[in-house]
Amino acid sequence: MLKKMIVLLVMVCLAVPAQAAIYKWVDHRGTVYFTEDLGKVPPSFRKKVQVINGEGEQAVEVIESAAPEGKKPRKDAAPKEDGQTTKADKKISYGGKNEDSWRNEFGRLKDELRTNEEYLAETRKRKDDTANLSRRDYLSLQQTEKDVVSRIDSIKRKLQSLTEAADKAGVPKEFR
């Protein structure tokens, strides 16, 4: 018994916690991705990647050494030295956000609303087929339905609030 305790104690003492970095990035539609390999993050999103460890999120700077083979670096990627503005610099700001930000935010909320509405329809369809459900399953589907309806209402409120903010900022309808 003592021998087993000593072996166990030695194993616990020698165990070193793994410190793997997890990278978080968000695409142009607002979808959040996580990966353990920085090479799996598309180059266009590497500037905004965040390193997540057990202590919270930290921003990380990624330095690209060269353009991938067969591809030329973008001309508007860096500001010009002679003071000229590029096409990216001329984007109009509406209420502190550019066109892409407004499109992304509206797109993300609309996608989330559509997904939840589809899930609600599927849940209601499953709930209506009572022949194949136990009471516990029926009650679970009923609670899920309430939760999804609540989520849909919340998303609609967010979308309404965003629409009001867009109206106030003068955002054109085609960005919504």
User: At CA 76, angle to CA 72 and CA 78, rounded to 5?
Assistant: 95
Same domain, 152 and 106: yes
24 contacts: CB under 8 Å, gap ≥ 6: 32, 33, 34, 49, 50, 51, 52, 57
Highest mean pLDDT, choosing among 34-38, 49-53, 115-119: 115-119
Q: Is residue 6 part of a domain?
A: no
- What pTM did the predictor assign? 0.46
Residues 106 and 163 in one domain: yes
- The rounded percent of the chain whose pLDDT value lies above 90 is 23
Q: How far apart are CA 149 and CA 143, in angstroms?
A: 10
Measured between alpha carbons, how far is 21 from 50 in angstroms, rounded to an integer? 10
One domain, residues 58 and 104: no
- pLDDT of amino acid 46: 81
Q: Per the structure block, which two tokens stand in for 65?
A: 């050494």
Domain count, the chain: 2
* 47 lies in the same domain as 102: no
Domain-embedded: residue 109: yes
Domain that holds residue 147: 93-175
Q: Is residue 111 part of a domain?
A: yes
Residue 44 and residue 113 in one domain: no
168 and 118 together in one domain: yes
Q: What is d(CA 30, CA 167) in angstroms, rounded to the nearest whole number?
A: 21
Q: Is 82 within a domain?
A: no
Q: Are 115 and 156 in the same domain?
A: yes
Confidence bin at 7 (pLDDT 50/70/90):
confident
Q: Is residue 72 part of a domain?
A: no
Least confident of 22-26, 54-58, 104-108, 130-134: 54-58
pLDDT value, residue 52: 75
What pLDDT is attached to residue 89? 46
For residue 170, being part of any structural domain is answered with yes
Is residue 38 scored above 80 in pLDDT? no
Mean pLDDT of all residues in 21-40? 82
Torsion-angle region of residue 70: left (phi > 0), alpha (psi -120 to 50) or beta? left
Contact in structure between 32 and 45 (CB atoms under 8 Å):
no
128 or 17: which carries more pLDDT confidence?
128
pLDDT at 128 over 80: yes
54 shares its domain with 101? no
- Is there a single domain that holds both residue 97 and residue 53? no
In terms of domains, do 99 and 58 share one? no
Separation CA 123–CA 137 (nearest Å): 11
Each residue of 76-116: pLDDT tens digit? Answer: 444 444 444 444 445 677 767 778 888 888 889 999 999 99
